[in-house]
Structure 1
């Protein structure tokens, strides 16, 4: 388990992190979210001991050792491969920096290239690959030694939906073998789909922390989707309805002022009869992200 406890970091007069704390358990995926400059990369760099900080970071209750760092897989936001090396040479080079032998790593390369649908051969040079395939090779470099702690800084950036799904499968597979995983993303759909927990930073401070469901439910079930032959004007006139959006024929999204208004709206619209849809939900992570970035408070 990774424990980040009361981390604070300043760069001159800029407070990059302020009293940041969280745990990432074995077999757990945590999403670290926040707008640009919120402190996500600084948090990663603190874990990796790239910079000094105030506070404490431990792995299984102890300060991270050199051996522990060999068990970390890190994908930086700024991708960096050596263009004149072959795929095999690049993967083996980075693996050896993690104290992995070429004898162990080389037999795994073809399988990992298949997993990520890399177009090319292990003997192809990096500079002959497309940008997308270069990115997938860097992902292989991060994961091939089966690290126990995986840190991914914007791993989905630049990936099309098909390749993003391949990465999600690899992340979930690493979780299932017991790895602790933390990744940052601006795409809340990715966070919502595969994360167990999330931490949101704003101006270097933790403003949200918990399971994805718990975080969403903090904001109340104030979104209501329903199918009805009522008009938008009729729906808007109901008590507790703040806003009505038509999203299809007879299909509406209602924003409620109070989640407790749901049962009365249900009774009014259905009048004891069947309707195809009535679904009361909390806001999406994307909506919550936008709210928190703007600094809007919630109950």
Structure 2
């Protein structure tokens, strides 16, 4: 798995440190550049009262808590304050601008009424130009060794045979191979499918819905994948998001990989898609698979873009740290 650049948006609260811990551990494991970003509201009425003092100084201090000066210099980790009023648009734009391979961000557990409005993490998962990993502060943790080791043991891929889920399967296979984790491949049939009268009997030579889905799951995974990780295929029935969440809880899944639906309209968007509901309720981090929509950028390209971009005022010592 190739990760060269990770973008980690933060609101500089204590709760957002969980996402930064994951982002910094992944960046260290892949020797990737980490960009810690804070979206500072332009409008005075949208200013964040939770952030006291200078945001750039706080951002820089937060980053330095995650790595030594030598590590910051070696991997070119940096902090960035961006002025904007729309965090979703800001995060998506900066991810594309920096050529990020992964966005790691925190999402709050939202009450049912508030969930109708969605969250920034859900919106970014629909529009980002790269995969998005969503973290909650009260979920199963797989960062070990004081933030230095990745302890993934079980990865769940929600698979519905669509192009979106194919992207999720590719990521799930790469991650499972890299960390020798179990790969659980789950397909959910519509409710009551297995209780239909014709399911109990089939003409000679025909195949039932359950067996057809199980056979397609087996064919979805390359044969060689069985050589380096244990794979478990599961077919269940019900509401997809509920089955995914319940399976993750029962089997102590460490990471759920799911395909992105993209921007949607109508009732599905209003009341939340399966992806949105999994993001809100999953007992572990969720990786929303999205294809890369930008060319990979070299460090020299980024330096040139940084030099031509409008500078955000910050203290001199912070500016030196960002360029180091």
* TM > 0.5 fold call: no
Taking structure 1 as the reference length, the TM-score comes to 0.34
Structure 1 or 2: more strand by fraction: 1
Taking structure 2 as the reference length, the TM-score comes to 0.32
Larger Rg: 1
Structure 1 or 2: more helix by fraction: 2
